[in-house]
Structure 1
């Protein structure tokens, strides 16, 4: 399906500019950490808000509203500008809109071992949407949790829409093991100074502080308050005080659930040329 079958892209005029690159996913795969690292680079301008959701939720607002996130006055002295919205990778219409609106855009897609990715999502919402449900029950009841972990399927679609040379595939495992190598590969991909070392390089970003209340605060227009809390020195204390611990997936869980994703992992290996034995059985 193309935009012409749904809605034509708005006119690309105005004082703002379009991004040179977009991080499209995956959810729960370190994109917030990457956003912080990219935001520090002097050659890169990142949108003030990490997740813009323009191509999947706000497209009808028009391209000028999107370009306003990359004002000419602030992007004139940088080499590239971009945004990260991890919801794009599993929305075909959003990907098609990106392609037809910014044909030469560069994309990066962070892949994460599928059971761990799904379990991280479970932990995020276990005190709200998934309250009272086990991990197995969530996977059975909510098809989207499984679908978001079928990253091979989504990567294949991305390759069908965008030229491979415009797509950088990253792995969450590498972020954990060697964050400096990952950041350097992204900087090289964006053709900016790869010797720059962000202060967030070896930090763990507290993406979720109050998982049970974040979505409600956002609905009330108070999302800015969440970001202030996350960036404050008190964020870890608040998280520990209000966030109830959730059972971690053990090796038995991993073995049982990993079989659901075997074919998709095989597809990722085929598409990327990277063997992923640790994704198919416990380490």
Structure 2
């Protein structure tokens, strides 16, 4: 079982954490987004497989999960990163039952910006076709994933608060080195190690033509047509897709204001629960 888990949130710096942490000589991580602890073989898992495909949960058995660490040096700190663990209702209980001593790290991002970044990602992946003005109703996954109070409380209901470290994405973005030193200290590895922080990871992009993007990113193309293409054709398709991507747009002030209205009470409840200063998240759009 792992010594630590980075449990989320999605679009809150977990890709950068993974890339930086795996460089540490005292850390072993088998891969990102294994998602084992979120597989409950029930409605939650079936819903995610319906949205993202059956290979969304590649590791489903305890034996297969343990095998990921079979060759790891026991002297290292073992861990994995899966943003789904924070929003998954079943993951906290499964983690407690199988790894009760594990150290948990949650990176939390201003939910307004997280929701917009999630929308941008889903447009890019071909899973979101709605225009911005229609995509942020409170029931949408973009919005639901940012209600952190209940997500964090589930972990505090299952683990002592000393086992849960909360990282603010904004602090991480402002000072990578200081945040990583705190994380390394929390999991008990050398805090003086400095990974190459000049590299940027998972930079947000947005399709210039959403129609073209939807043609090359729909499920039929991904699962049926693309695998049947010869290698040179797949290479051209990848180049065409990359050429269609530009800089991600900024969140429009009216969408920012509406999302802030939706999240305000949850932010205040999270602030009371965690004693974090979240006042910056409550600031209106510039």
Do these two structures clear the TM 0.5 threshold for a shared fold by scoring above it? yes
CA separation of 1:219 and 1:273: change in aligned 2, threshold 3 A: farther
CA separation of 1:189 and 1:238: change in aligned 2, threshold 3 A: farther
Cα pair 1:259 1:280 within 8 Å, conserved: no
Give the match for residue 4 of structure 2.
21
Quick check: 211-220 or 22-31, which moved more? Answer: 211-220
Cα pair 1:32 1:207 within 8 Å, conserved: no
Give the match for residue 155 of structure 1.
152
Which among 12, 22, 28 is matched to residue 45 of structure 1? Answer: 28
Cα pair 1:55 1:97 within 8 Å, conserved: yes
Q: C-alpha separation between the residues in 2 aligned to 1:238 and 1:191? A: 45
Give the match for residue 231 of structure 1.
none
For the pair 1:250 / 2:252, whether they are aligned, the reply is yes
**Deviation of residue 138 (structure 1)?**
1.5
Cα pair 1:179 1:202 within 8 Å, conserved: no
Cα pair 1:22 1:84 within 8 Å, conserved: yes
Give the match for residue 129 of structure 1.
127
Give the match for residue 201 of structure 2.
205
Q: C-alpha separation between the residues in 2 aligned to 1:55 and 1:259? A: 33
Give the match for residue 8 of structure 1.
none
CA separation of 1:79 and 1:246: change in aligned 2, threshold 3 A: closer
Per-residue CA deviation, residues 30-49 of structure 1 (Å, 9 max, x unaligned), is 101000111000110011x2
**Deviation of residue 276 (structure 1)?**
1.7
TM-score, normalised relative to structure 1 = 0.78
Q: C-alpha separation between the residues in 1 aligned to 2:120 and 2:218? A: 15
TM-align CA RMSD: 2.8
Give the match for residue 73 of structure 2.
75
Cα pair 1:111 1:172 within 8 Å, conserved: yes
Cα pair 2:40 2:90 within 8 Å, conserved: no
CA separation of 1:265 and 1:58: change in aligned 2, threshold 3 A: closer
Paired residue secondary structure (1:139): coil
What are structure 2's unaligned runs of at least 5 residues? 42-58, 208-212, 228-237
CA separation of 1:69 and 1:247: change in aligned 2, threshold 3 A: same
**Deviation of residue 57 (structure 1)?**
2.8
Which among 261, 264, 273 is matched to residue 275 of structure 2? Answer: 273
CA separation of 1:43 and 1:214: change in aligned 2, threshold 3 A: farther
